Structure 1
Amino acid sequence: MVGDTRLSKKAGYIHDRLQVLGRLSAESCALLDALGASLHELTVLTAPIHCRATALTQAQRNISAANAAVDELLDNLDTSRRVQAVLEAGPGKDLDGFLDSLGQLERSNAYLMQHAGMAAVRAAVQHSQLLFNRALEQCDADFKASLAAGARAAAPPAAWLRSKLEVPITDASRGELCLELVPPGLLPKLRRMVGLMITAQYAPAQQGYTALRERALQQALQELGLELQPAAAVALMSSEQLDKHIRAWHTQLRLITLLMLSEQRLAEAVWPEPVGRELFAALVQPHLAALAAAGQDIVQAHKAPEKVFSLLDMHRHLAASLPALQAMLAASSSMVPLLGQLQALLAAAAAAAAGLFAEYAESVARDGAKVLPMDGTVHPLTAQVLSYLKRLLGYENAAQVMYGDMQESEDNYIGDVSGWAAAAAAGDEAQQQPGSSGGGADGSSSPARRALAAGIARLLMQLQDNLEAKSRAYKNEAIAALFMMNNVHYVQWSVEGSAALGLLGGEWLERHKDAVEDWGARYHELTWLPIINMLKAEPPSDVSRLKLVLKETFAAFNAAIERIYTHQSGWTIPDAMLRGAVKRVIKDDLLGTYQAFMRRYADVQFTAHPAKYIKYAASDVASIIDDDLFETKAVSMSKLSLTKEKLGAIG
C-alpha cells in the first residue's frame, strides 16, 4: 500500500511538470513567431538599401577596371614613342636594349590589334607596325652583316680543305673535320636575333642566312677550282677530259660532304629546331642534286674501256660519303628523295662498270690489229689487257661493286657463268687453302667473286684466241709458236703475281703453264727437231754414198745454223728465266746429238777440204745459242763473216 501511494505521488509530480513544460513551449513558439514577424518587417525595410549598396560596389569595380584598361591602352599606345629612339639607333649600338625594345613593341602591337576597332588605336597600330617592321629590317641587316663578317673571319683555308678531302668521315674524325664557321663569341648574339625574328615570323632572315651560306659554299668550290660541266659538254668530252671531269666530281662530292659537317653545326647552333634542320637541308640540296645529275651524265657518257676505273672510283667515293650524308640528312623529309637518287647513282655506277668490263672483253675478242711484233715478243694487246686486269684488281671490292647484287641463280653482267665454272671453282678452292692470296671481305665463294672470276677467265681466253688468230699471219711457223709462247707466258706470269690468281686458281695456272710448254715444244719441233732428226738419221752402208750424205748433212747443218742465227738473233724471249729454259732445252737436245754425230764420223775421210763442211764445233753452236738467239739482234747474211770470230771454223 505504501509503495502504491509513493508511486501515485511521483506520477502526479511528473504530470505537473509536463504541464508546465507544455506551457513554456507554447510561450516560446509565440515569442519566435513574433520575432519572425519583426525580422520580416526589418528585411522589407532594408531591401532598398542593400540594392543601392550592391550597385555602388559594382560601379566602383567597373570604374577601377576601366581605369586600368585605359591606363594599359594608353601605355601600349605610348610604347612606340618610348622605344622609337632605341629602335631607330639600331642593334649595333645597344643590342640588349634594341632587342628588349623590339620585344616590347611586338607585345604592344599584339595588344593593340585586339582593340583595332577604335579609330585612334588603328592609327597607332599602323605607326607601331611600321616602326616594328623597320626595326626587324634593321635586325635582319645586322644579323646578316654580323654573320658575313664572322664567316669571313673564320672561313676555312683552301689548303686545309685540300688536306682533309681524303680523310674518312667517321664519328672519331668529326671533331677534326668540323670547323667553327663563325667565331664562338658571336653565336649568342645571332641566336638572340634569330629567336626574335622567328617569333615575329620574319621570313627574310631565313632566306638571307641561306643566301650567305650559299655564297660561302660557292667560294670554297671556286677556290679549289671545281666546276661541273653540263650534260651536253660531258657527252662531247674525250676520254681524258671525261676522266678529269670525273675527278672533279669526286673532289666536289668530298668537299660538299666535308663542308656539310660544319654547316650543320652552324645551323643547329644559330637556329632552333626544326628551322635549323630545314635551312641546312635547303642549303645543301641544290649542290647534292647537281652532283646526282652530273653523276648520271657521267654514267651515261660515251663508253671507253678505261672508264670502268673512273666509275669504280666514283662508286668508292660515293659509297664512302653516303653514310655521312644519310646521318646528316635522313631526319629531313625533303631530302629523302635526293638520298634515294644518290643510292640509285651508286647502283648505276656499279652496273655501268660491270657493263664496260663485259664490253671490254668483247672488244679484245674483236681486236683486228694486223701489225705483229717482228721479234715475236709480247703483243701490245696482251700487255694492255694484263695491265687493265692488274688495275681492275687493284680495287679490293671490284667484285662486290660490279656483281654484288647477283644471286646464285642469276646470270652475271658478262653472260652465263656456267661456261666458266671450272675457272671460278678453281679460284674458290685456291681461296680456301691456307695462305692463298687474293682473299676479300666479300667472301671467296660469293656469287660476285665467281662472276668476276668467270669474266676474267673469259677475257683471257678471248685474248688467247685472238692472239692465235694473229699468229697465223706470220709466214714462219716457228716465230708464230714463239710469239704464242711469249704471250701465254706473260699472261701466266702476270696472273701468278697478282690477285687474279686468287680468283682463277691453281688449276687455271697449271693449264697455262702447260700451254707455255706446248708452244715452246712447238717452236722446238719446227726449228730444231728437223736438224736433230737429220743428225740422227741412219747412214747408208755404201761408202761412196756415205761421203755424199755427210757432205750434204754438214752443208745442211751449216745452212740451218746460219739461217737460225740470221733470223732468230732478231727474235726475243723477254722473260730471262723462260729464255734460259728454252736455250737449255735446245742445247740439251742439239749439242749432244751434234757431238755424237761428230764423234761417229770423225774418222771418215769424206772430203779433201773438211773446213769447207765442218764449220762449227759444239762450243760454237753453244755460243750462238747462249749469246745470240732471242737477243733481238738485227743480223744480215753479210755479217756471217763473224764466224771467224764467233763460230770457230775447223780446218
Structure 2
Amino acid sequence: MDSRSQAPYKSSSFSQATTRDDTARTREVDRNFSLGALRDKRDHHPPHHHHSREHHAIISEEDEQADQDAEATAGHGDGGAGEDRGDPDLAALSAEVDAFVAGQDNAVTVTEATLDKFASAVELLVARSEGSSDHKWASDGDPPALLAAIARIAALASALGKSPEAGGGKHTAAVHRVTGVLHRAMAFLEDEFHELLDDPYANHKASAGGEHEPDRCVLPGAAAPASSSETKEAALPYPPETVDRLRAMADAMIAAGYATECTQMFLVARRNAFDAALQGLGYEKSNIDDVVKMTWESLEAEVVTWTKAFRHAINVGLSTEHDLCTRVFAGAHAAVGRGIFADLARCVMLHMLSFTEAVAMTKRAAEKLFKVLDMYEAVRDASPVIEAFLSAADDEPSSALTELKSELASVRSRLSESAAAIFHELEGSIRADAGKQPVPGGAVHPLTRYVMNYLKYACEYNATLEQVFREHHRRGSHGDGGDGNPFSAQLMEVMELLHGNLEAKSRLYKDPSLSNIFLMNNGRYMLQKIRGSAEINAMLGEAWARKQSTNLRQYHKNYQRETWSRVLSMLRDDGVITVKGHVQKPVLKERFKQFNAAMDEIHRTQGAWVVSDEQLQSELRVSIAAVVVPAYRSFLGRFSQHLSAGRQTEKYVKLSAEDVETIIDELFDGNATSMVRRRT
C-alpha cells in the first residue's frame, strides 16, 4: 500500500488508498464542484498544495503531472460513467445526498457512483485543508464549507447504515468508501480541535501579518487582575472567532458520533489550562504526606498561596469555564457542555480541597488558627457559587456538582472543627503556663502580650469565629448556643483564665508592692488592648472594661498602702511632740533617719521596677507625689529648726521637698540608683 494513503483512521472499515488516477480525477472534480448554498467562495481558487501535511497527502504529484493524469483518466468516470466527460456538479451531488438522507422513509435511493463521487469530493476538501491555515475555516457568515461537507457525509454515513440497499450488499464498496472518508475527516477534525484548544491564536497569527499576541488559553486574571469594565467576551480564554470555530467543530463531531472524543479533548485541554493558571498564581500540587511533613513557616506560605488560588478558581476560573462550555456546546448539545463543566469543576476543586484535609491533619497549634480560618472562609464562600451553578441547570442536577457541593460542606465542617480545636489550644496553653520565675521588675508578662495580641487578631475574624463555634456547638452536646454569640462567651472564658493565671503569678513576688505593680502593668496592658480594638471591645462589652478599670484602681490603692503608708507614718507628729508641746529631739532625729533610709530603699528598689505604659507611670508618680511631698514639706517646715544649725542639720535633713519629688519622678523606669550615689 502506498504510504501516502495511511491517514490516522479510527477503524478498519476505510476504503483503499486513493490512487494516482483517483487523485487526478478528484483534483479535476475539485476545480468545479460546489457545495451549493454552503460553498466557500475560495473553492474557486487552486489549492495550495505546498501546505499539505505529508501523512494526510492525497495530492502528491507536481501540478503538471497531475493535469496530465487528469486528461488521461477523464474518460474513466466512476461506476462506469465514462461517457460523461463534463465535471460533475457537487451541488447536484449534495442535493442527491440530502434527498437520500431526508427521504429514506419514502424509499429514495442513491447510486453508487453518486456516493463515490461525493466521498471523493469531501476527501479532497479534507486533503486540501490538512496543510492549509488561510482559508479552510472561512465562512462569510455561513458555516465553513469544510464543516458543511463533513456534516453532510456524517449524515450520509448514518443514513447508509440504516438503508436496506447498503445492508444487502448492493453498495458495499461505496459504503466503505463513505465511512473511510468520514473517519479521515473526523481524524482531521480532532487534530484541528485539539490544536485550536491549545493555541487559540494559531489561525489569527497566520493572517495577522506576523503580529504576535500572547497565548490566551489560560484563565483570565492569572497574570494580572481583570478590569471590572471587561465584558463577558473579553473574559473568555479564547477570542470570539475561535469560540465560534470550536462550536462548529464540536457540533460536527458530536453529530458524527464522536461525542466522547470531543468531550475528552475539551476537558483535558481546559483542565491543563486551569492548572496552568493556578501555577501562574504560585499554586503547586502537593500530596498529603508532603504537607504533613512541612515546617509551619513553609506551610503558612503554602496556605496563603492556596487561599489566593482557590478564591481565583471559584470567583474567576469556574465562571469563565462555565461560560465557555455554554458557548461551545450550545443548543441541542447544551447538556454535553454542562457535563463537561461539572466534571472539570469537580476534578479541579476536589484536588484543591485535598490540601485542606492535609492541613487539618497537621499538629494543632494556636498560631495556625488564622490560616485555617482563611481556608474556612474561602471554602464557605465557594458553596453559594456551586449552588448557583446547580440551580442554573435546566435538567437534572449534575451528580458531579452535587458531589462537589457535598465535599465542600464536609471540608467546611472539618475546617470548622479544626479551628475550634485550635482556639481551645490557646486555653490549654494558658493553663499550662505555670512558670515559677516572676518577670523582673513586675513588667508585662509575655503570656499577657501573646494572649491579648492573639485575641485582638482573632476578633478581626469575629463573624467567622461565631460561625465556627455555632457549628462546633451543634456538633457537640451544647445545642445551638442560643441567641448569644458563642465566640464572645469563649472569649470571656479566655480572659478569665488569663486573669486567674496572672493573679497566681503575682504571688511569686515576695514584695506585695511589686505584686500590685505587676497586676497593674498587666491589667493596664489588657485594658489598652481592648480599648484599642473596636472588635474585641464590642465582643467583651463595656461591663467587662469597667470591671477591669475597677481592678486597676484597687491594685493602685494596694500599692500605695503597702509602700507609702509606712513612709507617711514617719511624718506624723505622734511621739515627736510631748503632751506639753515640747519637741523630743531624739525622736525627731530618728524620724529623719528613718525617712531618709526609706526613701533611699524605695529609690533603689522601685527605680528598678518597670511601668512601661507612660500614662500609668505618670499617674503613679503624680498620685505618690501628691501625698508624700506635701506631707514631707510640712514636717520639714515644722521641725527642721529644732535641729542645731550646721553639721547636725546636714546629718539628719538630707532631702529637701524638691529632692523627694525628684526621687518619685525617677521611680518605675527600670534603673536601680541609690539616693546616696545620686546626691554625690
Task: Give the TM-score range, shorter chain.
Answer: 0.7 to 0.9
User: How far does residue 516 in structure 1 lie from its aligned partner after superposition?
Assistant: 0.8
- Residue identity in the other structure for 1:350: S
Structure 2 CA distance for aligned equivalents of residues 239 and 568 of structure 1: 42
Q: Which residue of 1 aligns with 2:299?
A: 242
Query: Which residue type is aligned with residue 595 of structure 1?
Result: R
- Uncovered stretches (5+) of structure 2, i.e. residues with no partner: 1-103, 138-143, 203-213
Amino acid at match of 2:529: S
Distance change >3 Å, CA 109–CA 506, structure 1 → 2: closer
1:524-554 per-position Cα deviation (integer Å, ceiling 9, x unaligned) = 1221111112322611649999333222221
1:235–1:581 CA distance, 2 compared to 1 (3 A): same
1:305·1:357 contact (CA, 8 Å) conserved in 2? yes
Residue 71 of structure 1 and its aligned partner are, at CA, apart by 4.9
Q: 5 Å matches for 1:349-364?
A: 349-364=415-430
Of 446, 453, 469, the match for 1:387: 453
Corresponding residue number in structure 1 for 2:595? 557
Partner of 1:138: 188
Q: Which residue identity does 1:179 align to in structure 2?
A: A
Deviation at 1:134, TM superposition (A): 1.3
**Do residues 209 (structure 1) and 266 (structure 2) align?**
yes
Deviation at 1:558, TM superposition (A): 0.8
* Shift in alpha-carbon separation, 1:398–1:611, aligned structure 2, 3 A: farther
Measure the CA separation in 2 of the matches of 1:125 and 1:215: 39
Relative to 1, partners in 2 of residues 1:154 and 1:361: Cα closer, same or farther, differing over 3 Å? same
Of the three residues 487, 498, 522, the one matched with 1:452 is 487
Q: What corresponds to 1:255 in structure 2?
A: 312
* AA aligned opposite 1:460: M
User: Counterpart of 2:593 in structure 1: which amino acid?
Assistant: A
What is the deviation of 1:340? 1.4
Pick one of 164, 171, 176 that aligns with 1:126.
176
Amino acid at match of 2:415: A
Indicate the larger mover: 491-500 or 514-523: 491-500
Residues 214-613 of structure 1 aligned to structure 2 (within 5 Å): 214-257=271-314, 258-272=316-330, 273-329=334-390, 331=393, 332-405=398-471, 446-447=483-484, 449=485, 451-498=486-533, 499-536=535-572, 538-539=574-575, 541=578, 546-605=584-643, 609-613=648-652
User: Aligned-pair distance for 1:515?
Assistant: 0.9
User: Which of 609, 613, 617 is 2:656 aligned to?
Assistant: 617
Give TM-score, length-normalised by structure 1.
Answer: 0.76
* Corresponding letter in the other structure for 1:262: T
Identity %: 26
1:510 Cα deviation after fit:
1.7
1:7-28: per-residue Cα shift (whole Å, max 9, x none)? xxxxxxxxxxxxxxxxxxxxxx
Q: CA deviation at 1:274?
A: 0.6
Partner of 1:31: none
Bigger mean CA deviation after superposition, 365-374 or 500-509: 365-374
Name 1:87's counterpart in structure 2: 126
Distance 1:523 1:512 in 2: 17
The change in CA–CA distance for 1:157 and 1:78 in structure 2 (over 3 A counts) is: closer
User: d(CA) in 2 for partners of 1:373 and 1:244?
Assistant: 34
Q: How far has the Cα of 1:122 moved from its partner?
A: 2.8
- State the match for 1:183 in structure 2: 239
3-state SS of 2:199 partner: helix
> Is 1:643 aligned to 2:659, yes or no?
no
Alignment: residue pair count: 540
The CA distance in 1 between the partners of 2:450 and 2:190, in whole Å, is 63
AA aligned to 1:502 is: A
The one-letter code matched in structure 1 to 2:608 is G
- How far 1:132 moved relative to its partner? 1.2
- 1:453–1:503 CA contact under 8 A, matched in 2: yes
- 1:304-331 CA-to-partner distances (Å, cap 9, x unmatched) read 1121111222222223333223323553
The one-letter code of the counterpart of 1:108 is L
Closer/same/farther in 2, CA of residues 187 and 446 from structure 1, 3 Å limit: same
Deviation at 1:173, TM superposition (A): 8.1
Q: Which runs of 5+ in 1 are unaligned?
A: 1-64, 418-444, 645-651
Structure 1's 584 and 158: CA in aligned 2 closer, same or farther, altered over 3 A? farther
Please tell me whether the aligned partners of residues 548 and 606 of structure 1 are also in contact (alpha carbons under 8 angstroms).
Answer: no
Residues 250, 328 of structure 2: 8 Å contact kept: yes
1:448-502 CA deviation, whole Å, 9 max, x = no partner?
x2x2222222211211211222222223332121011110111122212322222
Contact kept in structure 2, 1:87 and 1:101, CA below 8 Å: no
Q: Distance in 2 between matches of 1:556 and 1:151?
A: 96
Quote the residue 1:105 is aligned against. Answer: 153
Aligned twin of 2:16: none
Q: Which amino acid aligns with 1:552?
A: E
Give the CA deviation at 1:616.
Answer: 0.6
Q: Distance in 1 between matches of 2:650 and 2:191?
A: 110
Counterpart-to-counterpart distance in 2, 1:502 and 1:177: 46
Secondary structure of 2:642's aligned partner: coil
Cα pair distance change 1:476/1:145, threshold 3 Å? same
Q: 1:454 to 1:606 in 2, by over 3 A?
A: farther
Larger Rg: 1
Q: In structure 2, what residue type is equivalent to 1:604?
A: H
Q: CA deviation at 1:622?
A: 0.8
Could you give the per-residue CA deviations for residues 561-616 of structure 1, whole angstroms, max 9, x where no partner exists? 11111121121222222222211221222223223322342343479612111101
Per-residue deviation, 1:370:
4.3
Alpha-carbon spacing, 1:155–1:524, altered in 2? closer, same or farther (3 Å)? same
For 1:176 and 1:407, how far apart are their aligned partners in 2?
43
AA partner of residue 149 (structure 2): S
Return the alpha-carbon distance in structure 2 between the equivalents of residues 465 and 112 of structure 1.
90
Shift of the 287–111 alpha-carbon distance from structure 1 to 2, 3 Å rule, reads closer
Contact 1:315–1:350 (Cα < 8 Å) also in 2: yes
The CA RMSD over aligned residues, in Å, is 3.2
Which whole-Å CA distance do the structure 2 matches of 1:631 and 1:177 have between them?
67
Q: Give the Cα separation in 1 of the matches to 2:607 and 2:219.
A: 59
- 1:400 and 1:177 map into 2 onto residues whose CA distance is 40
Structure 1 residue 341 displacement after superposition: 1.0
* Code of the aligned partner of 2:660: V
The 5 Å alignment of 1:1-80 reads 71-72=110-111, 74-80=113-119
